[in-house]
Structure 1
Amino acid sequence: MNQKMIAIAAVLIIVAAGVGIGAYVLTKDDDNSGDRTVTDIRGREVSIPGEVNKVVCVSAGALRMVSYFDIDRVVGVDSMDKGTSGSPANYNLAVYRVAYGDKIKSATDVGGASSFKEITDTKADVIFTTTEGVETLNDIQNKTGIPVIGLRAEVYFDLDSLQTFSKQMRLIGEVLGMNDRAEQLVKGINDLFTELETYKLSASASDLQKSYVCGLMTGMNGNFYKTTGHYLPFSTTVGLNIAPDVAQAPYIINQKDIVDQAPQYIFVDDANYASCMSTMKTDSATLGEIPAIANGKVYSLLPYKYYNTNYEAELINCFAVGSILAPSIYSYNLNEKADQIFQLFFPGTSMTLASYTSAIGHGIGLVNESEYK
């Protein structure tokens, strides 16, 4: 009887810039059959082919993360990414859809994570999904006969979660045989955070500026009063967030609290630009006394979320806010910095700040007072 010897290698993941350590396990048969076993982000051990050439991505954030590696292997996407459901007007708010629009549109519309026949018909080698629940992931795998790699969409760029994000990049890289690409992403992201930290360390207390961000998208909607006390472009720069740090997810803030806190700057998420402008006009009798509005210091930023977090846009917003609040400290060409970040996430594409701005109709910059007064 032919016995298999299985070697288990524990891969120690060291995240640069002091963000912590994470690990996942890779198991490979020594008989060169090519079968491997990876432990996904949900803690499931999943056996996958030696070579993964065709993948399906379903649920919020899955296609985004895989697109950072190789969009050409994606043969199936869910209806939200295909554009057959959701808001057509908001489709391009998800940055990766602008970077790879034609390729995404050419993939098969499999519907959703429970569209078992449609997924099976793609003959994919693996399924990437951010669907939660081990039982649900196992059910998808059992009913499609295709290995399911569970990812996490609920990951933020901060010191607590960057470790998990880096772990996911390395997991996707291992599944696709693109370890070098994973390391390139992890290093590039950590280098950007290190650069932001260097700028902030050179700032003084007098450089801090009371700031408010509005229009954050969650649950597919947002408005002027939807904000968060945990906003990366403020915490990594000299923005002094007027909202209390009570939750990760955007929440509704009281109008009186905004007025009382008197922010010097207001930043509007482009995902809900029109709605925020309308509210500032409608509520101008009260909001008009806020220093940011009275002094014309209202700025637009790239969409923080659409079909989960736009990680690349979030990083660009960090550099944008820094350059707006303290240009003498954050002294770089923002367009060049943004293009550099887009190329880190979407290498070899024509993706630039200008092209993304054109696709969504708004970009980063000072808002004309006539739009909100």
Structure 2
Amino acid sequence: MYKKIGTLIIASLMILTIAICGCTESTGGTTVTNEEITTITVVDAAGRTVEVPQNPEKIIALSCALREVVYLQSQDKVVGIEFREAAKKTDGTFPSGLELPYLAAYPELMNLTVVNAGNTVNVEEIAKLQPDVIFVGTSGAGSAEDIQAKTGIPVVIVYVATVGTEAQNEKYYETLELMGKVLGKEDRAEELISIFEEYETDLANRVADISNEEKPTVYVAGRPYMGVHGLDGTDPHWPAFELLNANNVASEVSDVSEGISVNKEQVLEWDPEYIFVSESSMNLINEDLNDPAYRGLSAVQNGNVYGVLPYCWYSFNKETGIANAYFVGKTIYPEQFSDINVEEKADEIYEKFLGKPVYSIMESQFPGYTELTNN
């Protein structure tokens, strides 16, 4: 599934030299005088050709793109954040602060200047921070040209949305290579793709000999999209299930990994043997688990409702998706995953992606990997 692809950066590998003449500018204590800036040209996820400084020193990542900046070990270049990335100030129905693994790893990022409010980008604040380049996730692609025009700073659109299907994975790998090119982190981008592939291979090998008839039916609930959801919120191609080739009862609803809502009658008809719950939606999930109809589900009756860390929580925590797969695997296929300690495995995965083990911090924000039926 996670198939490595060649770079789509087309990076026109034109190296241009622009002379900055006759001007001295002070930027936060840094003085630039008559300096030559080398640039590269890249094609972004929206097909736009963008000229960016080679090895930028200051960056901003909008529309949930900061996570990938951290994956690419460039968090030290970040000069501004989005309001959801500041310290937690919400009632738990929206993501923020330490609930996001990349901020749990680098909490100092939460103290940086906030450059947006909701869907509104503060271009004046961005201009003050003078980043060399701005990354914008595809969800905010519509504002990219406006931001670039108003700030004069190159904006690169990147795909940082969900993975799951082969096509989605390929788009994501292209973005890792694109961002790696812009940040001067090509080797790290290739390493990340290899890490994805290694975990994919390990998980696939563990379940390779399990026939379809032996696979229990599974369902993910509480999958956020446009807010939190109860048992109605699911994902037809939830990455943890895809990595295990699991028997997802919702798989025929859509061809891609995405948040969808299904009615109660459909969930009851599917009657999955195991339910895995995104712990970002626990309030609604607890309400649903007290519903007499839902309490009749086989998974509830048999004590097979489990909590997992949020994969979709201010966009998509890809490393958490992999960690979730090991927990799901150990739960439904204990023999094949008998050697796995899920907490230790999660920390191993977090370290490979984020550079630090943060499972204990995530467990302080959510219940963690646990059985929920009797909680």
TM range (shorter): 0.7 to 0.9
Equivalences for residues 83-98 of structure 1 within 5 A: 83=87, 90-91=95-96, 92-98=98-104
Aligned counterpart, 1:8: none
Cα distance in 2 for partners of 1:222, 1:192 equals 29
- SS of residue matched to 1:143: helix
Q: Pick from 31, 54, 58: which aligns with 1:54?
A: 58
**How many residues in Structure 1 have an aligned counterpart in Structure 2?**
348
Equivalences for residues 295-334 of structure 1 within 5 A: 295-331=302-338, 332-334=340-342
Aligned counterpart, 2:49: 45
Does 2:69 align with 1:99? Answer: no
Cα distance in 2 for partners of 1:22, 1:47 equals 17
Cα distance in 1 for partners of 2:189, 2:48 equals 21
- SS of residue matched to 2:153: coil
Does 2:80 align with 1:80? Answer: no
Deviation at 1:301, TM superposition (A): 0.6
Cα distance in 2 for partners of 1:120, 1:341 equals 36
- SS of residue matched to 2:218: strand
State, as a whole percentage, how many aligned pairs show the same letter. 27
TM-score by length of 2: 0.86
Contact 1:238 1:322 in 2 (8 A): no
Aligned counterpart, 1:28: 14
Deviation at 1:241, TM superposition (A): 1.5
Does 2:351 align with 1:343? Answer: yes
Cα distance in 1 for partners of 2:54, 2:232 equals 50
- SS of residue matched to 2:180: helix
Equivalences for residues 1-373 of structure 1 within 5 A: 18-26=3-11, 27-29=13-15, 33-59=37-63, 61-69=64-72, 70-83=74-87, 90-91=95-96, 92-101=98-107, 103-111=108-116, 114-131=121-138, 136-237=143-244, 239-247=246-254, 248-281=257-290, 283-284=291-292, 286-331=293-338, 332-347=340-355, 349=356, 351-358=357-364, 360-369=365-374, 371=375
- SS of residue matched to 2:51: strand
Change over 3 Å in CA distance of 1:261–1:168 after alignment to 2: same
Contact 1:22 1:163 in 2 (8 A): no
CA RMSD of aligned residues (A): 2.3
Contact 2:16 2:39 in 1 (8 A): no
Deviation at 1:338, TM superposition (A): 1.1
Change over 3 Å in CA distance of 1:22–1:210 after alignment to 2: same
Give 1:67's aligned amino acid: V
Cα distance in 2 for partners of 1:232, 1:305 equals 10
Gaps of 5+ in 2: 18-35
Cα distance in 1 for partners of 2:278, 2:2 equals 28
Cα distance in 1 for partners of 2:137, 2:320 equals 20
Cα distance in 2 for partners of 1:49, 1:110 equals 21
Deviation at 1:261, TM superposition (A): 2.2
Give 1:353's aligned amino acid: Y
Cα distance in 2 for partners of 1:329, 1:159 equals 25
